[in-house]
A = this chain, B = another copy of it.
Amino acid sequence: MWMHATCFLDFNIPVATPFLFMLRPRSGWQQWVGREQYVLTPSVPAVEFTDPFGNLCQRLVAPPGQFSVHTSVDIESADFSDTAPGAPFVEVQLLPDETLPFLLPSRYCESDRFSQMASSIVAGWAPGYDQCAAIVDYIRRTTQYTPGAGQEIISACEVNQRSQAVCRDMAHLGIACCRALSIPARMVVGYLEKLQPMDLHAWFEAYVGGRWYTFDPTQDDLQGGRVAIAYGRDAADVAIYTQFGDPVELLGMEVTVERMAAPSY
């Protein structure tokens, strides 16, 4: 299906402030960028680099005053996310090299402290996909998805002590549990069609059965309509913007996602 997604960020900048943005979705094996726009107002010099996870990152210095970033994308994405009940666990020695960093604990996913909890959640399930599904199911049952409840980014350990969480928190918990079972897991930030309320979204992917599969503890079923903007170990790696120096004010943020007809520009 084709989707048109937009993200608008509006800042009040007191003094010239360096920023990193991560707002350019890439064409990958599950999505194809047909059209893309990226507008800085006012226009300032910006450079782009590829981070260690393959994300395109934009570096710039925001000038004092009002500063806004407006991105949009027309993108073709899968109608449904693949599922694979029964897909087997991949023995660590057989994992591709590039998946190994996603086995290590990270800022918001202290997988080193989740061995016991993860083992208990997946007791009785076959190693692999079904374990991931059991983890997602557990998170859904024990945590109430509460958009807007997350001012501060909290880690999987902290999430675990609460009953309400945002998408990011639930992804962190899922990732921490998968890694504790030696299943590579990574964070995805992106757009999701029909999200209520509309916002940027976060979910995770786990590597089982020889490929990455999508898991989303916030959704009852794995509908498609997903656009991946960035991949990383957790929210620290995939912040859509990272700002250095004194905090600046985010005046507003607006996200839209709509289905569209196949373009014929």
A interface residues with partner B (beta carbon < 8 Å) = 18, 20, 26-29, 32-39, 43, 45-52, 54, 56-61, 70, 72, 76, 91-93, 97, 100-101, 103-107, 110, 112, 153, 182, 236-237, 242, 244-245, 262-265
Q: Of B36, B76, B107, B237, which contacts A43 at CB under 8 A?
A: B76
Majority SS of interface residues in chain A? mixed
**Which residue of chain B has the shortest Cβ distance to A60 in the bound complex?**
B93
- With A236-B104, A236-B105, A245-B182 in contact, is A47–B29 under 8 Å at CB? yes
CB distance from A18 to the nearest CB of B (A): 4
For the complex, what is the distance from the CA of A59 to the CA of B265, rounded to whole Å?
21
Q: Of B20, B35, B46, which contacts A35 at CB under 8 A?
A: B35
CB distance from A138 to the nearest CB of B (A): 22
Q: Are A106 and B59 in contact (CB under 8 A)?
A: no
Q: Which residues of B contact A47 (CB under 8 A)?
A: 27-29
Q: Of B27, B57, B153, B262, which contacts A46 at CB under 8 A?
A: B27
A–B complex contacts, Cβ < 8 Å, 26 sampled? A18-B91, A18-B92, A26-B48, A26-B56, A29-B47, A32-B45, A33-B36, A35-B37, A36-B36, A39-B265, A49-B97, A50-B50, A50-B54, A51-B100, A52-B101, A57-B100, A60-B93, A92-B245, A104-B107, A104-B242, A106-B106, A106-B107, A106-B236, A107-B107, A107-B110, A107-B112
